Amino acid sequence: MKTFLGLPAHPLFVHAPLVLVPLAALAALVLAARPQWRRRCSAALAVAGLVVMVATFLAMQSGEAFEPAVRDVVNLDTHKSLAETTRLLVALFFVGTVAVAALDRMTNDDRPWADKAAQAVVTVSALLAVAGSVWIARTGHEGAKLVWDGVELTVRLGIPGR
């Protein structure tokens, strides 16, 4: 998706994962620290994981559509590499949240292992979300540097239209 409501989509879509990934990480950390809350809220965490994954996907798709417009002005390699790692971390976080929700649904006296497994998986998922938060911040920072380096370059070169 190159545009959204007539505006470049990428600058609009990148803000959702920048906010939602750290919020989901915070929620996962809280649920890892409070197992009694986890059992009640794991399905909501899985929904949050899905929202974060979709937001990240939209940001990346819009970035790929936006790439031809800026590829000749700035080097996108580092930004794209960081974004790929972010996407992987967010996808693994989502898989973990779904696994936790499924394990919490089967936790009962017949399956005491499921509670321990859910606790381990939510802890790993929280760590993945924290790593995703770091990577999304690094990706966003690199993207912002590209924008301002590109603006500076086009001003110095006198390229019209910026």
Q: For residue 155, is pLDDT > 60?
A: no
What is the phi/psi pair of residue 75, to 5°?
Answer: -90, 115
Give the pLDDT of residue 162.
46
**pLDDT value at residue 158:** 57
Q: Where are the alpha helices (DSSP H) in 4-34?
A: 9-13, 15-33
What pLDDT sits at residue 106?
81
pLDDT of residue 157: 52
Residue 66: which pLDDT band, with cuts at 50, 70 and 90? confident
Tokens standing for residue 107? 């936790």
Please say if the pLDDT value at position 38 is more than 80.
yes
The whole-number pLDDT of residue 10 equals 85
Phi first, then psi, for residue 7 (nearest 5°) are: -110, 155
In percent, the amount of the chain with pLDDT more than 90 equals 60
pLDDT of 121 > 80? The answer is: yes
25-44 average pLDDT score: 94
User: What is the pLDDT of the chain when averaged over all its residues?
Assistant: 87
Q: What was the pLDDT predicted at 71?
A: 76
The counts of H helices and E strands in the chain are 5, 2
| pLDDT top residue among 113 and 44 | 44
Ramachandran angles phi, psi of 4, nearest 5°:
-140, 115
pLDDT band at 108 (very low <50, low <70, confident <90, very high): low
Q: Please check the confidence at residue 70 and state whether its pLDDT lies above 50.
A: yes
> Considering the entire predicted model, what is its pTM?
0.85
